[in-house]
């Protein structure tokens, strides 16, 4: 026992799941992923019995994910990651001894020698990365799952585009349409009441890709507004290959917008707050609809999507 050390009074459960899934690779993914030959070399020259032994050495016993520097150890040599060190209140989850500020430099050095596959290998990424470069790559890997673009409710579902299209259709009952032109009709009773945002989402299949048309009401500062914008179901580099236009009007007037669809990698809130779309002040919307005294708002938003050469 180190000087001043002691035993914690309570046992810490060693296999509680913590952490951000984007910050580390899951234990199951690790065990199913192949290593490059360098790991086999480590096994032979450093006395490790197998690749799985290397996996286990680098797994935090609390969150069961790969550890990155600083890797901490207790006086008896048990290791854990820096995030979990704070969570266990300075008590080793394995032997219950008090943790000091001991770094496991040897294990950090072993990690430097490893090459690992991307955690999204099962989704199509076949690249191999140095241990300490893997995490940075995974945050921007083009094969990483997309989040559900539905904005009317909190939804934690993620997956590839075909899966999300089925999810939007089956679970959120979103309207699906084929074609690159559209007329979106929005009807709202009591248009003077806009405190609660109203979301509408329609998915268009165009050029063999999918686009999400958002239409909603919300407060922009103190001003009530309506907003329509398009998002592309794919990555940003592909989204930039397309353009779209939106127009709304009535009473002999017309308001138009032209832009580039934002990728669903950008959250709905990020796009909305950047005001990157067609914004209609409520008074103008009522004018388009037939007058400010109307008890029902009726707007028709026409749009077109095209591919840039």
Q: How far apart are CA 49 and CA 47, in angstroms?
A: 6
106-132 residue pLDDT tens: 888 888 888 888 888 888 898 888 888
pLDDT-derived band of residue 68, with 50, 70 and 90 as boundaries? confident
Is residue 271, in this structure, part of any structural domain at all?
A: yes
Indicate the pTM of the whole model.
0.68
Retrieve residue 69's tokens: 């520097």
The verdict on 69 and 127 lying in the same domain is yes
Q: Which domain holds residue 123?
A: 53-139
**Residues near 270 by beta carbon (within 8 Å), at least 6 away in sequence:** none
The verdict on 176 and 258 lying in the same domain is yes
Quick one: average pLDDT of 29-43? 34
The verdict on 296 and 154 lying in the same domain is yes
Element housing 204 (H / E): strand 198-206
Domain with residue 162: its CATH number is 2.60.210.10
What pLDDT does residue 53 have?
66
pLDDT over threshold 90, residue 245: yes
Is residue 219, in this structure, part of any structural domain at all?
A: yes
pLDDT-derived band of residue 37, with 50, 70 and 90 as boundaries? very low
Q: How far is CA 170 from CA 163, 173, 176, in A?
A: 11, 5, 11
pLDDT-derived band of residue 271, with 50, 70 and 90 as boundaries? very high
Is residue 25, in this structure, part of any structural domain at all?
A: no
The verdict on 69 and 178 lying in the same domain is no
The proportion of the chain whose per-residue pLDDT surpasses 70, expressed as a percent, equals 77
The verdict on 233 and 123 lying in the same domain is no
Strands 102-103 and 181-189: unpaired
> Is the distance from CB of 9 to CB of 97 less than 8 angstroms?
no
Give the residue, 34 or 150, on which the prediction is more confident. Answer: 150
Is residue 286, in this structure, part of any structural domain at all?
A: yes
What pLDDT does residue 192 have?
65
The verdict on 202 and 172 lying in the same domain is yes
Is residue 269, in this structure, part of any structural domain at all?
A: yes
The verdict on 163 and 282 lying in the same domain is yes
Quick one: average pLDDT of 139-152? 89
Quick one: average pLDDT of 284-300? 77
pLDDT-derived band of residue 59, with 50, 70 and 90 as boundaries? confident
155-190 residue pLDDT tens: 889 999 999 999 999 999 999 999 999 998 888 776
Q: How far is CA 236 from CA 207, 248, 272, in A?
A: 16, 27, 17
**Number of domains making up the chain:** 2
Quick one: average pLDDT of 83-91? 87
What pLDDT does residue 207 have?
95
What pLDDT does residue 274 have?
93
H-assigned helices in the chain: 27-32, 37-46, 51-58, 82-87, 105-112, 131-140, 161-170, 236-239, 268-273, 282-289
Phi-psi category of residue 208: left, alpha or beta, with phi > 0 → left and psi -120 to 50 → alpha: left
The verdict on 151 and 72 lying in the same domain is no
**Residues near 271 by beta carbon (within 8 Å), at least 6 away in sequence:** 214, 229, 231, 262, 277
């Amino acid at each position: 026992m180190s000087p001043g050390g002691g035993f914690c009074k309570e046992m810490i459960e060693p296999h509680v799941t913590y952490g951000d899934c984007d910050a580390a690779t899951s234990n199951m993914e690790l065990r199913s992923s192949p290593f490059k030959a360098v790991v086999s070399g480590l096994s032979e020259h450093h006395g490790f019995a197998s690749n799985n032994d290397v996996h286990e050495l680098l797994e935090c016993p609390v969150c069961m994910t790969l550890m990155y520097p600083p890797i901490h150890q207790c006086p008896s040599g048990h290791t854990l990651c820096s995030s979990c060190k704070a969570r266990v209140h300075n008590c080793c989850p394995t032997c219950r001894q008090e943790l000091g500020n001991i770094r496991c430099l040897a294990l950090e050095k072993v990690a430097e020698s490893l090459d690992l596959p991307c955690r999204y290998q099962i989704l199509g990424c076949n690249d191999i990365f140095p241990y300490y470069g893997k995490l940075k790559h995974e945050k921007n890997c083009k094969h990483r799952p997309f989040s559900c673009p539905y904005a009317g409710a909190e939804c934690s579902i993620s997956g590839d585009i075909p899966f999300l299209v089925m999810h939007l259709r089956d679970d959120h009952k979103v309207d699906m349409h084929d074609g690159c032109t559209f007329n979106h009709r929005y009807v709202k009773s009591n248009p003077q009441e806009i405190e609660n945002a109203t979301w509408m989402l329609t998915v268009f299949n165009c050029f063999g890709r999918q686009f999400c048309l958002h239409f909603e009401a919300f407060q922009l500062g103190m001003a009530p507004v309506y907003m329509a914008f398009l998002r592309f179901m794919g990555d940003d580099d592909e989204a930039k290959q397309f353009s779209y236009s939106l127009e709304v009007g009535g009473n002999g007037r017309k308001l138009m917008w032209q832009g580039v669809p934002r990728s669903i990698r950008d959250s709905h809130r990020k796009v909305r707050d950047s005001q990157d779309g067609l914004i209609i002040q409520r008074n103008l919307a009522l004018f388009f609809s037939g007058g400010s005294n109307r008890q029902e708002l009726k707007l028709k938003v026409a749009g077109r999507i095209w591919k840039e050469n």
